[in-house]
Amino acid sequence: MAASEDRCWICLSGSEAGQLERPCACPRFVHRVCLGRWQLQSAGCSDEVSRCRFCDQLLPALEDILAPKHLRDSAQQATPYMAVICNGVYHKVPVKPGVEGQAEFRARVNCLFGMPYDSDFQVSFECVAPTTGELLNLRGMNCFNAAASCAAISAAKRAAGKEGYFKWSEA
């Protein structure tokens, strides 16, 4: 296939819509923004957030895909926070992605709201898509990493003085 005919397998646009890449072993091309949006929309549904559905190779982390290049170091250094609200009580909780980060988040929420340490709870993450500003509602603890990635990118934007699409209400 000639370079002029290459298309993003998600949006079906060519290089006129942005640089086309191959993030895995597949012969298919994709725009970073399209892949990131697809990964966010797939959060909690399957392993498609971290692995290619075609070749099963690991895909780049959401922060690497969705954070602008000039903010990638900040995304790894800035402390991301999530607002946790239960029965009208609000807490600002630091988070980090990964299995350990999820376990810490669970333990902190249980402690903050006086629940037994081993209790399960239902959760819904309201996030702002880093590239579009679109409000996303990610349901279930299996969406934690995607939500933590969005929080990390927003924290990097705030640290860099850029609009993070979210303002903390200190009231």
Give the tens place of pLDDT for each residue, 117-136.
888 888 999 988 888 888 88
pLDDT tens column, 10-69 = 999 999 999 999 999 999 899 988 998 888 888 877 655 688 888 889 988 887 888 777
Whether residue 93 has pLDDT greater than 90: yes
3-state SS assignment for residue 134: coil
The vertex-129 CA angle with 29 and 139, nearest 5°, equals: 105
Ranges of each domain in the chain: 1-60, 73-171
Question: What is the predicted pLDDT for the residue at 66?
Answer: 81
pLDDT for the residue numbered 4: 54
The architecture in CATH of the region 1-60 reads 2-Layer Sandwich (3.30)
Residue 94 scores a pLDDT above 90: yes
pTM for this model (two decimals):
0.78
* Strand runs labelled E in the chain: 20-21, 30-31, 81-86, 89-94, 124-128, 135-139
Nearest CA-CA partner of 123 in 84, 161, 156: 84
Torsion angle in degrees (nearest 10) through CA of 105, 110, 116, 120: -70
Can you give the C-alpha Rg of the chain in angstroms? 17
